[in-house]
Structure 1
Amino acid sequence: MVKVASTCSGVALTHRCPRGILPLMIIGLLSDTHLPNLIRHLDELGPEPVEFFESVDLILHGGDLTSPKTLDWLEQFAPVVCSTGNNDPIPDQRCEEVQMLEIEGWRLGMIHSMEGQFRPMADLQKLFPSEVDVMIAGHTHLERLEYRDRVAMINSGSITFPRHKELRLGTVGLLELQPGWLRTEIIPLGHSPGRPNPGESMSMEIQLNGAEPKVQMNVPGFDEDGVLIRADDPV
């Protein structure tokens, strides 16, 4: 498991630490870029991808790049970690089928496909070599946040082909981590001319204090406490 140190510490950086001077790691999430496919780089979709990735400390790509040039482009903004997708035939040393990271005490596992999300959590944990607190996936092109059995599950959707629509601006994910605190958000980047973005905004915040985590959610299909009220799209 790779341990990643935060870049935010001390009074000088408290403008990036909304909860005080505790370390904060800001992570950009994306998946299923499928480039080159009509365009070579994400900035050809507009300024929104650049503006988003300029704001993060680390980038996690959930796979289906189809070209390592996507990683080269992303690395101008921050270090990149990538999972290998089912459409990634060319090996790249920056990508592994399963990626494990430890950041601010949170154990993250990233894998391209985590279909069958509603299986028991014990079965989902078997996708990773050791137990994780945060599961990150892609593959479905469907954005989703869920918290179940003390595990946050994140699918940022597709930044280029959201919900399997033709090429357009889609969704990304933002993940903020501090010791004992997590906030994640799905962000629709905007609309391409004549091609509306079908992605939905959603967010989830988790605070570990005491025996039971405090969870606040703004996610379709869940109430504000993170209780599932409908089951539809899989991660």
Structure 2
Amino acid sequence: MKVGILSDSHGDYRCIDMALSHKDAQGVELWLFAGDIAMDADYLAMVTDKEVIKVAGNNDWPGGRLPDYETADIAGHTILLTHGHLFGVAFGLDKLAQAAIDVGADIAIYGHTHMAVDTVLDDVRILNPGSIARPRDARNGSFMVMDLTADKSPCVKLLRV
């Protein structure tokens, strides 16, 4: 299954449109949105007509509308999706990896830092697509596309707009 991963769009629909028009985003069947700004995930769902699983970020207030994290079973993998601020991701990924282990996830996806990450910690694949609109690690925004197949490691591509 081809899964798109976006985070930290901060109201910039133009960047979302750029991601959607990227050749590697064609055929995405499901989108994961790791917070900041939740209304952008609604826009993404509207323009793609695909399911979007979304969580609240630290700028998605007033709260109560979205959960701080979600778990999803997708193509033989369990994914923990969060914005990351409540797990202290700006100071390390240990708490996030442990949270993933606690819910039985083999993949953890977060945002918040606006910097792309693809690493493995304690047998958990940890991904951050960076910010599609306000990157701190490059000039252009980024997102990820992940191909998931049961019993295989995810194939993940970091893409720039």
TM-score (norm 1): 0.58
Counterpart position of 1:49: 19
Counterpart CA distance in 2 for 1:135 and 1:30 is 13
Counterpart position of 1:61: 33
- Work out which of the two has the higher radius of gyration on C-alpha atoms and give 1 or 2: 1
Task: Select the structure that is richer in helix.
Answer: 2
Counterpart position of 1:73: 43
Alpha-carbon displacement from aligned partner over 1:205-228 (angstroms, at most 9, x marks no partner):
xxxxxxxxxxxxxxxxxxxxxxxx
Counterpart position of 1:140: 113
Residue 54 (structure 2) pairs with residue 82 (structure 1) = yes
Over the aligned positions, Cα root-mean-square deviation in angstroms equals: 2.5
Whether the aligned pair in 1 keeps the contact of 2:80 and 2:109 (CA below 8 Å) is yes
User: What 5-or-longer segments of structure 1 have no aligned partner?
Assistant: 1-24, 190-235
Counterpart CA distance in 1 for 2:76 and 2:93 is 26
Residue 80 (structure 2) pairs with residue 104 (structure 1) = no
- In structure 1, give the amino acid aligned to 2:92: Q
- In structure 2, give the amino acid aligned to 1:50: L
Counterpart CA distance in 2 for 1:46 and 1:80 is 13
Other structure's SS at 2:97 match: helix
Number of corresponding residues: 152
**Identity across matched positions, percent:** 26
- In structure 2, give the amino acid aligned to 1:30: L
Alignment of 1:12-27 (within 5 A): 25-27=1-3
**1:174 CA displacement:** 0.9
Alpha-carbon displacement from aligned partner over 1:58-93 (angstroms, at most 9, x marks no partner):
01011011x51x123211211101111000004575
Change (3 A) 1:47 1:81: closer
Whether the aligned pair in 1 keeps the contact of 2:9 and 2:16 (CA below 8 Å) is no
Higher relative contact order (CA 8 A, sep 6+): 2
Whether the aligned pair in 2 keeps the contact of 1:125 and 1:131 (CA below 8 Å) is no
Whether the aligned pair in 1 keeps the contact of 2:97 and 2:124 (CA below 8 Å) is no
**1:124 CA displacement:** 3.1
Other structure's SS at 2:159 match: strand
Counterpart position of 1:207: none
**1:26 CA displacement:** 0.6
Residue 117 of structure 1 is aligned with which of 92, 115, 118? Answer: 92
Counterpart CA distance in 1 for 2:32 and 2:16 is 21
Counterpart position of 2:7: 31
Residue 157 of structure 2 is aligned with which of 167, 181, 185? Answer: 185
- In structure 2, give the amino acid aligned to 1:48: M
